[in-house]
Structure 1
């Protein structure tokens, strides 16, 4: 029985979440769905453009016919660009849907009022800023966004080390912040490279824990 369905827009996330499962949640059963074209379309036409395709995909995959287990398998969406759209589909799916960066955002607004957001994709900045404001629930927060120049090109070229190094350098250059948010799940490995004393938050570990808790709460 699947405990959690993970929707990714890049295959690089699969081993990351498998490793987190093995380390922190042994025995949990994850099922991975990788659909890169969702991000491609969201970048070209806006996140709202993927809603119909995403709804059909998740309706089919959260409880496909002939598979064991009850309907309504929780879904964790690891792409920050389409996370809000995916969460909005939960009522239609009859299953919990969580964007992977929501627990991270909640932790960020608890950490301080001056939040720096780093992203490698411009399409991620607005959704992440909106999420942080939502989690702040009316409390005053200052959100500064930073697009890490050249990082995404390295990611697309398969240069993971170069990608993470650029993200870490950008984090080390941040000033006047109480906390730094790494907006994309693919950035998580950069947290360990940052030398700044400012806390750096990433989404995969807290997101997976929260996603698996949805099954327990169901």
Structure 2
């Protein structure tokens, strides 16, 4: 089994490798491809443009030629997964799409935390569409200043800011807290014991890929 993963940050490779180990996947199952330039382009453009979406879809389709499934791990570029899937012979998994479906299952108030402005619009659409089937109340929030910390390489401060925002969301009534981006995953370990662990995408995305491969 070969699962190709498209990332926009090198640091997310370790996060996905850890998720794969947790799931018991054999070493070498994941094959990582990093295209940070695609996210940088979207940030410069103020969001995902048709050209960037098309380029991302082309990359996904290329990866699909030599894999049993492909996972797109970028919430800003997420819509490109649907575009690529239209002509792909193998499953193309949108990590945040799987996350949204899982997060709304129980209904209630779902607070989705983001650290990049470019992901706010696609994430809001994604979660609100998913919530139509369960009636979940979606609250998408941007953690101000967090992405600047990430870009500066201060990952510790980045995760601390996310953990603090998570605890605030729980105190304000969130029943489910969701990390919209894989880079946020490590913040879950920083929350106090009185709080539930926020949901994150890597494990769910790989589980979906495994299921899709089995069904293919």
> 1:190 is matched with which residue: 187, 190, 199?
187
Consecutive unaligned residues of structure 2, counting only runs of 5 or more, are none
Consecutive unaligned residues of structure 1, counting only runs of 5 or more, are 65-71
| Aligned residue runs from structure 1 range 45-84, under 5 A | 45=45, 46-47=47-48, 48-63=50-65, 73-84=68-79
* Superposed displacement of residue 143, structure 1: 1.6
In structure 2, what is the equivalent of residue 119 of structure 1? 114
In structure 1, what is the equivalent of residue 31 of structure 2? 31
* Superposed displacement of residue 163, structure 1: 0.6
Q: Is 1:135 aligned with 2:117?
A: no
Counterparts of 1:94 and 1:51 in 2: how far apart (Å)? Answer: 19
Matched residue of 1:158: which SS? Answer: coil
Please, what TM-score do these two structures have when normalized by structure 2?
A: 0.88
In structure 2, what is the equivalent of residue 69 of structure 1? none
Counterparts of 2:82 and 2:200 in 1: how far apart (Å)? Answer: 19
In structure 2, what is the equivalent of residue 43 of structure 1? 43
Please say if residues 93 and 209 of structure 2, whose CA atoms lie closer than 8 Å, have aligned partners that are also in contact.
yes
Q: Cα deviations across residues 143-171 of structure 1 (Å, max 9, x unaligned)? A: 22221121111111121111100000111
Aligned length: 210
Q: Cα deviations across residues 74-122 of structure 1 (Å, max 9, x unaligned)? A: 1101101111222232012333211112232122112332111111101
Q: Is 1:176 aligned with 2:173?
A: yes
Counterparts of 2:196 and 2:80 in 1: how far apart (Å)? Answer: 31
Please, what TM-score do these two structures have when normalized by structure 1?
A: 0.88
Counterparts of 1:141 and 1:152 in 2: how far apart (Å)? Answer: 27
